[in-house]
A = this chain, B = another copy of it.
């Protein structure tokens, strides 16, 4: 029997170790060569733009957070629960703060790692890869470590009562989700508005190449990679780890009579050990000059996964006593599922396989068939993941039930979620690798670096596209697995508040069915608004770029375009346009909860989650497949670059951009936000 001090000490110890590791990574990256002055000029412009956006974005988010915190405080105070009121709103603000911190620090490093990656590419691919991965790892490690410190810290701060405290921490999860929604939405709108704007006027209208320094929106486009892919996804996975830790702890409360605090603290311990596995995986990666860099990353991921599986076994054996085998089995289900999701995403989005090839083939009959084929691929790509999710849930549940414990089934699914998320830091490192290499490529292109350097960054950029797609698959898979856990946490929370069991969500009741219908509708409406926000912001960018192109000196390369103006316009547009969909995402569940009450809200949450998982899969995978169909044609197939087929697949790529980089990722966050918002505001719904 391990003491609470030992377990929390382990969690804090590993977390602080991880922060030291991140500091070491930062120093390792920063001490490296920063390339030529031409490179530095571009990198500085990206850095400035990204930091200006993030500063203004978090000012808006900060204000909105204060409003919500005040709202939470007054809601709980009106029910006469002073302690809960203070702790929930403090937790909310702390969660929001940690999420912002993780996002900002990750981006701080990534905008500095990009130029160092470009500079390293002057020597070798392996060297450049190392810089990009280490830069990305800062974000990955910090996200997991900060979320652990936050949850464990609040646990201690709020009294470490194994029964009561987990319910007090829910505010933290909501704070993290809240910030994540706006970070992902604002960043996603920014990155795709800049991308679409730059491409449409530059590539399509003016006929100049991508990342051409004459294009005034090209810096905004490179900034977008950082604020969308890097800061956005970091916040997304931050709230995943936070929300799911809290959810699992609440379920652990139900097993308190059997496991004591072992059940409550297992999620934190498992996550801390997973962090160790991820860190080992990250330092184990070494690239070989003539090898596909993806292979090196995959080797590292395998190291992380195997080590995570071993450590998970040890933790289970240590904390679950005789029951360890059942719950270890459930954890393995999660680890295997994460591997399968990564493979499936590759199948649907890489051009080695049938789906992307079909889209490229459809390009020979024009853009319309490209879009139709891509939609079909996206819709189809929901099937295998849903079957895997269903099987994993069922198996983890069955293992938990087989343990013979009451509530064992639910706890089994919680442990499977822990298993799946144990390698989150590694996955996130691979993800942030994407924008860093993308930026490195852009810096090389814009500073007119020699062809061989650009070939090296192009190879890394291609890998970065794959890892970004994989992370989305992983994020949606973990969201799906966690969904059931978070529903149960909500129902436990309501039972706790009511003082009597609330265990049935009867979809055959009219109000619950209406709740479900509205939940699915919110997903679709939110997607529409997010998509429209990209369009609106892109329009501003397009107008600005066209206006600048009227100055002939820019097109002739004699006058430097006004990059800052584009960055500024995109920033303002993205921040303005993120507010309405964001407020809808927060306000709608509250309205449903107040009008239709707790059971219908559960229906709202569950059916909304199902719709969100499916729509996010469609949008992410269709977008990834369109992107790579374009890349496939660019390898020379069906006429190659410049052919009619190429024009057709470029249309597909542009359609896919907001799908895969704005709406899809925002939906991951939205479904978890629905879970945390209902957890926190449950007292309103009784």
A interface residue numbers (CB < 8 A to B): 196, 200, 204, 362, 365-369, 371-373, 375-380, 382-383, 386-387, 389-390, 393-394, 397, 409, 413, 484, 487-488, 491, 503-508, 510-514, 516-518, 520-521, 524-525, 527-529, 531-532, 534-535, 538-539, 542, 602-603, 606-607, 610-611, 613-614, 618, 650-651, 654-655, 658-659
Q: A368 contacts which chain B residues (CB < 8 A)?
A: 196, 200, 367, 650-651, 654-655
Residues of B within 8 A of A491 (CB): 508
A592 to B527: give the CA distance in the assembly, Å: 30
In the bound complex, residues from chain B placing their C-beta under 8 Å from that of A535 are: 362, 369, 372-373, 376
Question: Which residue of chain B lies nearest to A379 when distances are taken between CB atoms in the complex?
Answer: B528
Contacts of A369 in B (CB 8 A): 196, 200, 535, 538, 654
Give bound CA distance, A386 to B514, whole Å: 9
Q: Is the CB of A510 within 8 A of B531?
A: no
Q: How distant is the Cα of A607 from the Cα of B659 in the complex, in angstroms?
A: 24
Chain B nearest CB from A650 CB (Å) reads 8
The smallest C-beta distance from A341 to any residue of chain B, in angstroms, reads 15
Query: What distance in Å separates the Cβ of A606 from its nearest Cβ neighbour in chain B?
Result: 5
Chain B residue with the shortest CB-CB distance to A368: B654
B510 touching A393 by the CB < 8 A rule? yes
Rounded to whole Å, the gap between the CB of A651 and the closest CB of chain B is 5
A524-B383, A535-B376 known; A366 vs B651 contact (CB < 8 Å): yes
Task: Please tell me if the beta carbons of A383 and B204 are within 8 angstroms of each other in the complex.
Answer: no
Q: Evaluate contact between B371 and A655: CB separation under 8 angstroms.
A: yes
Give me the 10 closest cross-chain CB pairs, A-B, nearest first: A368-B654, A379-B528, A380-B528, A386-B521, A376-B531, A505-B507, A382-B524, A383-B525, A505-B508, A390-B514
Main secondary structure of the interface of A (DSSP, over half): helix
Partner of A520, one of B510, B614, B650, B659: B614
A334 to chain B, nearest CB (A): 15
Chain B residues whose CB sits within 8 angstroms of the CB of A488 once the complex forms = 508
Additional A-B contact list (20), CB under 8 Å, known A368-B655, A517-B610: A365-B539, A367-B651, A368-B650, A369-B535, A372-B531, A372-B534, A376-B535, A379-B524, A379-B525, A379-B527, A380-B524, A380-B529, A382-B525, A487-B513, A507-B603, A507-B606, A520-B614, A524-B618, A607-B607, A651-B651
CB distance from A406 to the nearest CB of B (A): 15
How long is the Cα–Cα vector from A393 to B510 in the complex, in angstroms? 8
Cα distance A503–B504 in the bound complex, in angstroms: 12
> CB-CB < 8 A to A413: which residues of B?
510
CA–CA, A373 and B531, complex, Å: 8
B200 touches A365 (CB 8 A): yes
Cα distance, A538 to B367, chains bound together (Å): 15
Chain B CB within 10 A, most for which of A362, A525, A529? A525
Decide: B383 and A655 in contact? CB cutoff 8 A. Answer: no
Q: Which of B394, B518, B532 contacts A376 (CB 8 A)?
A: B532
Task: Give Cα A63 to B375, complex, Å.
Answer: 32
Instruction: List chain B residues, Cβ under 8 A from A372.
Output: 531, 534-535, 654-655, 658
Cα-based distance from A531 to B659 in the complex (angstroms): 19
- Report the minimal beta-carbon distance from A562 to chain B, rounded to whole angstroms: 21
In the complex formed, the residue of B with least CB distance to A412 is B510
CB distance from A635 to the nearest CB of B (A): 22
Identify which of A484, A528, A602 gathers the most chain B CB atoms within 10 Å of its CB: A528
Q: Which of B377, B506, B524 contacts A528 (CB 8 A)?
A: B377
Task: Name the residue among A372, A378, A387, A516 with the largest chain B CB count within 10 angstroms.
Answer: A372
8 A-B pairs in the complex with CB atoms less than 8 angstroms apart? A196-B368, A372-B534, A375-B528, A380-B529, A390-B517, A484-B510, A507-B507, A517-B610
CB-CB under 8 A from A603, the residues of chain B are: 507
Residue of B nearest to A400 (CB): B510
Which chain B positions have C-beta within 8 A of A506? Answer: 504-507
Residue among A378, A379, A390 with the most chain B CB within 10 A?
A379
* Shortest beta-carbon distance from A81 to chain B in Å: 26
CA separation between A370 and B613, bound complex, in Å?
A: 26
Interchain nearest-CB distance for A644 vs B (Å): 10
Q: Are B521 and A382 in contact (CB under 8 A)?
A: yes
Chain B residue nearest in CB terms to A608 = B610
Residue in chain B with minimal CB distance to A511: B394
A371, A487, A507, A525: residue with the most chain B Cβ atoms closer than 10 Å = A507
Judging by beta carbons under 8 Å apart, are B367 and A367 in contact? Answer: yes
- By beta carbon, the residue of chain B nearest A522 is B383
CA distance A532 to B488 in the complex (A): 38
Q: How far is the CB of A478 from chain B (nearest CB, A)?
A: 15
Known A372-B658, A606-B507, A610-B516; contact A542-B380, beta-carbon cutoff 8 A: no
Residue in B closest to A613 when the chains form the complex, CB atoms: B517
CB-based contact B525/A611 at 8 Å: no
Write the nearest CB–CB distance from A205 to chain B, whole angstroms: 9
Query: With A383-B525, A611-B614 given, is the CB distance from A366 to B204 under 8 Å?
Result: yes
A46: min CB distance to chain B, Å? 25
Do residues A503 and B514 form an inter-chain contact, with CB atoms below 8 A? Answer: no
Give A94 Cβ to nearest chain B Cβ, in Å: 30
CB distance from A370 to the nearest CB of B (A): 9
* Cross-chain contact A507 with B602 (CB below 8 angstroms): yes
| A650–B518 CA distance with the chains assembled, in angstroms | 34
A420 to B366, CA, bound (A): 42
Contact partners of A394 in chain B: CB under 8 A: 510-511, 514
A256 to chain B, nearest CB (A): 21
